[in-house]
Amino acid sequence: MAKSKKSIFFCQNCGHEENKWLGQCPVCREWNTFVEEKITASGNPKSVLASVKEVEILSLNDVETEHEERIYTKIGELDRVLGGGIVPGSLILVGGDPGIGKSTLLLQVCRELGGDQRKILYISGEESLRQIKLRAKRMGEFSETVFLLSETNLEKIQGVLESRRPEIVIIDSIQTMYSEAVGSAPGSVSQVRESTNVFMQLAKGLGISIFIVGHVTKEGTVAGPRVLEHMVDTVLYFEGDRHASYRILRAVKNRFGSTNEIGVFEMRQDGLKEVENPSEYMLEGRPENASGSVVACSMEGTRPILIEIQALVCPTNFGMPRRTAAGTDYNRVNLLMAVLEKRIGFPLSNHDAYVNIAGGIKMNEPAVDLGIVLAIVSSYKNRPLDEKTIVFGEVGLSGEVRAVNMPEQRVAEAKKLGFTTCILPEASVKMVKSIKGIRVIGVKSVNEAIQLL
């Protein structure tokens, strides 16, 4: 007997389909990611040849490229990450840990855009209208053009969007939406994929900019199929410890701008406040005359950020030394310590080493290598470095200090914050000669930098 329904197994990580359960996904190689879902067999497909004549094909030279007017949110850090503002008709996914500030940021977007008399609809599937109102009262007054809807039925939401035609829509969250045409429970692979597909068609067809809030897994990625990130135009991630005061907004995908920019916010009682100078914010509370503390400079897109690198090196009490890295790559720290032991002759194999980037920020740019090396040497020798000195440069396996990109912006940022000396690769010195008021010293090797300091 033919069955009207059958079971299909989906990989929650990449969306791959199989007819039976597998322990490991053959596509993404992840373990225990397959879930079973019931699907209904569809009818006969329509003839494709009948609609071929209706398809319009254009030459690449005939496609118009008019400048798209963006919608500015008046939140400078968010506009920076989006590439200059919201593109009409775009679909934006916002992910992050619970309590990190996703709903707070989007409610602030509603408040700012409502002041321009733009029609905004906030759709919540997790909170009641009263809960949203209580959170909104802490932020201030809202315009009458901001509307709320507490609904999870996808068909009803689609009808409201087609009839009311708002300019901006907030979906909080995509895991709570469900379609009656899909038999699985809300939050499943099929429901998330179907809901995102419907919102994508509404955004492109009606010219509505839609923000989608997505839950994250314990690994920090958006819950649901990986295809969810491929369907949207922009993917934003909130980073940072929710118990700390600052938040970092990072774009991991952006069809309308760069993915290298970050936005820095500070969580306060009345919402998220922009941090216009992250370098000054990250260097607050630096210790004075403490060994193992070095200021380095990292680039996030076009923005230089000064960070404090701390290191603690002490003799080990066990046969195997302990290595710990917070805020930077653990393997990179081990590599740099091996360079110090082989090229400089420091006996670090019998010492524990703890490296930390103060403030909890994560930096993996190679330009912080020289800062990590000098912080380890400063702690090992127990000699503090000059507080007005900043360093940056990539360290190779031969102990050489290699050039990094955009040294002019890094030196200019250091000068603006009151630093008097900058140690950088010798190959980058000629690019910063035009900057006056700060002493620039070029080094070719790690040994030269250590002897200098």
pLDDT digits over 100-148, tens only?
889 999 999 999 999 888 999 999 998 999 999 999 998 889 999 999 9
Rounded Cα gap, residues 341 and 371, in angstroms: 17
Domain boundaries, the chain: 5-41, 69-276, 281-452
How does pLDDT run across 275-311, given as a tens digit for each residue? 888 888 888 888 888 999 999 999 988 889 999 999 9
Q: Is 102 annotated as a binding residue?
A: yes
Residue 450: its H or E element: helix 446-452
Q: What local confidence, expressed as pLDDT, does residue 330 receive?
A: 95
Q: What local confidence, expressed as pLDDT, does residue 39 receive?
A: 67
Q: What local confidence, expressed as pLDDT, does residue 423 receive?
A: 96
pLDDT band at residue 51 under the 50/70/90 scheme: low
| Residue in 289, 282, 318, 449 with CA at minimum distance from that of residue 377 | 449
Mean pLDDT score of the chain, rounded to an integer? 88
Mean pLDDT of the region 373-382: 96
Which CATH code for domain 69-276?
Answer: 3.40.50.300
Which residues, in sequence order, are CB contacts of 114 under 8 Å at separation 6+? 120, 142, 143, 144, 145, 146
Q: Is 349 annotated as a binding residue?
A: no
Residue 186 CA, distance from chain mean position: 26
Q: What local confidence, expressed as pLDDT, does residue 302 receive?
A: 82
| Of 18-22, 46-50, 64-68, 354-358, the least confident | 46-50
Q: Is 116 annotated as a binding residue?
A: no
Q: What local confidence, expressed as pLDDT, does residue 3 receive?
A: 45
CATH topology assigned to domain 281-452: Ribosomal Protein S5; domain 2 (3.30.230)
Asked if residues 7 and 35 have their Cβ atoms less than 8 Å apart, the reply is: no
Which residues, in sequence order, are CB contacts of 297 under 8 Å at separation 6+? 304, 305, 306, 307, 367, 390, 392, 410, 413, 414
pLDDT band at residue 12 under the 50/70/90 scheme: confident
Q: Is 101 annotated as a binding residue?
A: yes
Q: Is 396 annotated as a binding residue?
A: no
Phi, then psi, of 308 in degrees rounded to 5: -100, 120
Asked if residues 96 and 216 have their Cβ atoms less than 8 Å apart, the reply is: yes
Q: Is 386 annotated as a binding residue?
A: no
**Residue type at position 210:** I
Rounded Cα gap, residues 223 and 226, in angstroms: 8
Q: Is 205 annotated as a binding residue?
A: no
Q: What local confidence, expressed as pLDDT, does residue 226 receive?
A: 66
- Between 302 and 314, the higher pLDDT residue: 314
Q: Is 186 annotated as a binding residue?
A: no
Q: What local confidence, expressed as pLDDT, does residue 218 receive?
A: 60
How does pLDDT run across 199-208, given as a tens digit for each residue? 999 999 999 9
| Residue in 101, 73, 74 with CA at minimum distance from that of residue 239 | 101
Q: What local confidence, expressed as pLDDT, does residue 78 receive?
A: 94
DSSP conformational letter for 295: E
pLDDT band at residue 247 under the 50/70/90 scheme: confident
Provide the percentage of residues in the chain whose pLDDT is more than 70. 92
Rounded Cα gap, residues 392 and 419, in angstroms: 13
Tokens 């917070």 — which residue?
A: 326
